[in-house]
Amino acid sequence: MSGVREFFVLSGRWVIEGRRALSQGKIWRPLLFAQMRKLGVDSIPVAVFVAVFTGIVLALLSSYMFTRAIPLYFVGTLVTKAVMLELGPVLTGMALAGRVGANVAAELGTMRVTEQVDALETLAISPHAYLVTPRVIAAILMFPVVTAVAMAVGVLSGWFTAVNLLDLSSVEFLRGARQFYNFKDIWFGLVKSASFGGVVATMGCFQGLSARGGAEGVGHATTRAVVLGCQAILVLDAFWALVLL
């Protein structure tokens, strides 16, 4: 029970510190752009890699399922819907939970165990304003951007596979993609990915700043950040499906 109580006390403290840090724009605003580039732009290659193979597998799987059952142009429907609604945001989120979450936890964890975080506090600089806020805001802003790129690449990859490996023309693929298209498919995926970004960055910062005990402690914090980030993505995914669909 003391562990649960400690969790709530710590969470409450983070909420208070977070609100205060948000008001200290002079500290975190100059750092935001660099974090957006580091957490967002630099993550595009890994997101594209995941999206390419997601599109390929979706096209092949749907062809396998639909052949001699329903018209093959539904491959376009399934690839587009699945990538935009679910696999684009979630798989991109998972990949970035590994990249971004681990990076943030390792960096902040190392700063914690080498007393750099204490040094910030002795310089009257809030670690939440200097370290946490720019990373969390950058992730909330950039995860949807990266996910949008991944969505586009995933659909393109599915199209390319369908046209070159399956008995499907571009016209048929496009017919399927437009058949049940809804703009909500896109914004639903992007809203989800923004929340994934917030939770991945927050988890990475929380675990990093809680690291204790040298290199081993930083390793544990990094692992926890990735695992908990992935779990949080799955929980949020279900939450948004319940609330918005």
Partner 1 sequence: MIEFQDVHKSFGARTVLDGFTLAIPDGQTTVLMGFSGSGKSVTLKHIVGLLEPDAGRVLVDGESVGELEYDGLMRLRSRIGFVFQFAALFDSLSVYDNLALGLRRQELPPEEISRRVAESLRLVELSGAEDRFPAELSGGMRKRVGIARAIALNPRYILYDEPTTGLDPVTTAAMDELMLRARRELGVTSVVVTHDVRSAFAVADRIAFLHQGRILLAGTAGEVRETADPLVRAFIEGRPAMGERV
The candidate with the shortest Cα–Cα distance to 157, out of 111, 91, 201, 103, is 91
Shortest Å distance, C-beta 145 to partner 1: 24
Q: Taking CB under 8 A as the rule, does residue 122 contact partner 1?
A: yes
Q: How far is the CB of 124 from partner 1 (least distance, A)?
A: 4
Identify which of residues 34 and 165 has a Cβ nearer to partner 1 in the complex: 34
Q: Determine the distance from the C-alpha atom of residue 190 to the mean position of all C-alpha atoms in its chain, rounded to a whole number.
A: 10
CA atoms within 13 A on the CB side of 163: 13
Q: How far is CA 194 from CA 24, 78, 89, 109, in A?
A: 22, 23, 9, 24
Q: Which stretch binds partner 1 (CB under 8 A): 118-126, 136-144, 145-153, 187-195?
A: 118-126
Least distance from partner 1 to the Cβ atom of residue 201, Å: 18
Interface with partner 1 in residues 7-46 (CB under 8 A): 20, 26-27
Residue recorded with tokens 């809680």: 210
Backbone CA torsion sign across 59, 188, 34, 93: negative
Give me the 56-95 binding string for partner 1, x by CB under 8 A, dash otherwise.
Answer: ----------------------------------------
Q: Which of 119, 215, 234, 244 binds partner 1 (CB under 8 A)?
A: 119
Is there a contact between 75 and 167 (Cβ–Cβ < 8 Å)?
no
Instruction: Locate 240 and state its tokens.
Output: 């948004």
Site for partner 1 (CB under 8 A): how many residues? Answer: 16
124 in contact with partner 1 (CB under 8 A) = yes
Alpha-carbon span 74 to 72, nearest angstrom: 5
CB of 115: closest distance to partner 1 in angstroms? 4
Residues 137-176 that bind partner 1 (CB under 8 A): none
Would you state the structure tokens that stand for residue 189, as one six-digit string?
A: 């995926």
Q: Which of 15, 25, 53, 115 binds partner 1 (CB under 8 A)?
A: 115
Amino acid identity at 207: Q
**Cα–Cα distance for residue pair 35/41, rounded to 1 Å:** 9
Taking the complex as a whole, how short is the minimal distance between the CB of residue 209 and partner 1, in angstroms?
Answer: 14
6 scored as a contact of partner 1 (CB under 8 A): no
* Strand boundaries in the chain, DSSP class E: none
List residues near partner 1 by CB under 8 A. 20, 26-27, 110-111, 114-116, 118-125
